[in-house]
Amino acid sequence: MTTAQHLAELWPGERPEAARRLLSAAVESFAKRGFHATTTRDIATQAGMSPAALYIHYPSKASLLAEISRTGHAATLALVERAVAQAPEPREQMHRLVADFTAWHARGHTIGRIVNYELRALSEEDLAVVADLRRRIEDTVRQVIEAGIAQGTFSPTDTRTTARAVTGLGIDVARWYNERSTETPEELGERYGELVLRMLGAA
Amino acid sequence: MTTAQHLAELWPGERPEAARRLLSAAVESFAKRGFHATTTRDIATQAGMSPAALYIHYPSKASLLAEISRTGHAATLALVERAVAQAPEPREQMHRLVADFTAWHARGHTIGRIVNYELRALSEEDLAVVADLRRRIEDTVRQVIEAGIAQGTFSPTDTRTTARAVTGLGIDVARWYNERSTETPEELGERYGELVLRMLGAA
């Protein structure tokens, strides 16, 4: 899947074509220069539009960042919840969850970096929405670990630290993964899934 | 250890006091706004100096970033090599290495973020120096894993992926750790050391 396809998946149909073009342009601009050094003019130019046309859809570059961050977090929460719903028990749930979460951050490394490393640039209100999504991701991971402990499958040394290591491993992939990486996102996901089962004492 | 002490340790005695003040000011400015949105005037003001005084020590903000990145990477390489030199065998070497590497990124999370997330802003020449230091860190981690395999202590599923997961876990700490975190850098280091031994099949 290319970055363009990845983005198309994040911002499906109901959104006007121009809004989607602006979101993609904002992702590219923020990734290149960082949020603070990007102007709304940079984003409009990248999208082949005028600044005035941009303002019809988004009042500011901060509102673009907020939407990118919110949809990115919502997508990873959905993927984590899907892994739990579709696998029958904690061991498989965790393996699927880590594999999908890791592959998402490899495939969408550009957007993954913005979503995870530009949190400080969000307004207090936007950050609250994103923080809630992050909490739900962490909670889901922790619940799977607790279910595995109750069942006797997992024996972590510390549930909270392990839960954060699980999400941290996946998020960190966005930092270093690129198109020259030798592993596919899916291969990397499988391998990280195995590493996490080992961390939980369930390899 | 405070951030100021952490910085003092990175840039010890031989450097003029003004240069150290400029490096600290650059760290704070880059952390707040990102490299691209920071001006040399921002850095000089933060250091209580004029832009002209800044240029006596550093020709550009890029040269400040290069020095911060180079000294940060050199410090973590030194710490990794020290762990290997001081522990008698692979299992203890790895535990010490992960504990120290993780604690460094927790304690120095501000500088850790700049060192790891602003690599794209380095010139080709500066990046080559930093890339060499990063390679030596990865090589050291891989050699400890290979020594542990040869000795029958470690049984990773994949040496290269596990080596990258080891450094990735530690680096990711710089992303989320802050002064409100409930674990001390040392506690977190110990726990991550245990997690990594589990990943290696040596818990």
Task: For residues B153-165, give the mean pLDDT.
Answer: 96
Which of A77 and A32 is assigned the larger pLDDT? Answer: A77
The pair of structure tokens assigned to A8 is 């198309």
State the pLDDT at residue B2.
61
State the pLDDT at residue B4.
66
Give every CB contact of residue B103 below 8 A, 6+ residues apart in sequence: B185, B186, B188, B189
Task: For residues B174-183, give the mean pLDDT.
Answer: 92
Q: Which residue of B has its CA nearest to A198?
A: B199
User: Is the model's pLDDT at A88 over the cut of 70?
Assistant: yes
User: Is the model's pLDDT at B71 over the cut of 70?
Assistant: yes
Task: For residues A115-129, give the mean pLDDT.
Answer: 92
> Per residue in B15-40, pLDDT tens?
888 999 999 999 999 998 889 999 99
Task: For residues A123-145, give the mean pLDDT.
Answer: 96
Instruction: For chain A, report the end-to-end CA distance as a whole number of angstroms.
Output: 30
Task: For residues A17-31, give the mean pLDDT.
Answer: 93
Task: For residues A130-142, give the mean pLDDT.
Answer: 97
How many Cβ atoms sit within 10 Å of the Cβ of residue B186?
14
Contact A173 B172 (CB under 8 A): no
State the pLDDT at residue A4.
66
| Per-residue CA distances from A14 to A10, A20, A111 (Å) | 11, 10, 20
State the pLDDT at residue A185.
97
Band (A3; pLDDT cuts 50, 70, 90):
low
Band (B14; pLDDT cuts 50, 70, 90):
confident
pLDDT-above-70 percentage for chain B: 97
* Separation CA A55–CA A168 (nearest Å): 36
How many Cβ atoms sit within 10 Å of the Cβ of residue B11?
18
Closest chain B C-alpha to A33 CA, distance in angstroms:
6
Per-chain mean pLDDT for chain A: 93
The answer to whether B90 touches B153, Cβ cutoff 8 Å, is yes
Contact A175 B164 (CB under 8 A): no
> DSSP 3-state assignment of A89?
coil
> DSSP 3-state assignment of A186?
helix
ipTM of this predicted complex?
A: 0.90
> Per residue in A43-70, pLDDT tens?
999 999 999 999 999 999 999 999 999 9
Q: Which residue of A has its CA nearest to B163?
A: A195
Contact B175 A35 (CB under 8 A): no
Q: B64 — phi, psi (to 5°)?
A: -65, -45
User: Is the model's pLDDT at B3 over the cut of 70?
Assistant: no
Q: Cα angle vertex B70, ends B87, B133, to 5°?
A: 50
Give every CB contact of residue B69 below 8 A, 6+ residues apart in sequence: B114, B115, B118, B119, B122, B126, B130
How many Cβ atoms sit within 10 Å of the Cβ of residue B2?
9
User: Secondary structure of chain B: what % helix, strand, coil (to 5)?
Assistant: 75, 0, 25
Note which residues in 15-54 of chain A have CB less than 8 A from chain B. 33-37
User: Which of these, A179, A113, A84, lies nearest to B116 by C-alpha position?
Assistant: A113
User: Which of these, B83, B77, B116, lies nearest to B193 by C-alpha position?
Assistant: B83
User: Is the model's pLDDT at B151 over the cut of 90?
Assistant: yes
Per-chain mean pLDDT for chain B: 93
The 10 Å CB-count burial string (b at 16+, else e) for A134-167 is beebbebbbebbebbbeeebbebeebebbbbbbb
The 10 Å CB-count burial string (b at 16+, else e) for B116-148 is bbbbebbeeebbebbeebbeebbebbbebbebb
User: Which of these, A80, A65, A199, lies nearest to A136 by C-alpha position?
Assistant: A80
Helix axes A3-10, A17-33, angle to 10 degrees: 130
DSSP A4-25: HHHHHHHS-TTS-HHHHHHHHH
Please list every residue in chain B whose beta carbon sits closer than 8 Å to the beta carbon of residue A198.
198-199, 201
State the pLDDT at residue B60.
93
**Facing B35 at nearest CB: one of A34, A117, A157:** A34
> Per residue in B51-65, pLDDT tens?
999 999 999 999 999
Domains of chain B with CATH codes: 3-57 (1.10.10.60), 61-199 (1.10.357.10)
- Is A70 an interface residue toward B (CB < 8 Å)? no
Task: For residues A132-161, give the mean pLDDT.
Answer: 97
State the pLDDT at residue B11.
82
Band (A203; pLDDT cuts 50, 70, 90):
confident
The pair of structure tokens assigned to A145 is 């670990």
- Is B9 an interface residue toward A (CB < 8 Å)? no
Q: Cα angle vertex A53, ends A48, A57, to 5°?
A: 110
> Per residue in B79-135, pLDDT tens?
999 999 999 999 999 999 999 999 999 999 999 999 998 888 899 999 999 999 999
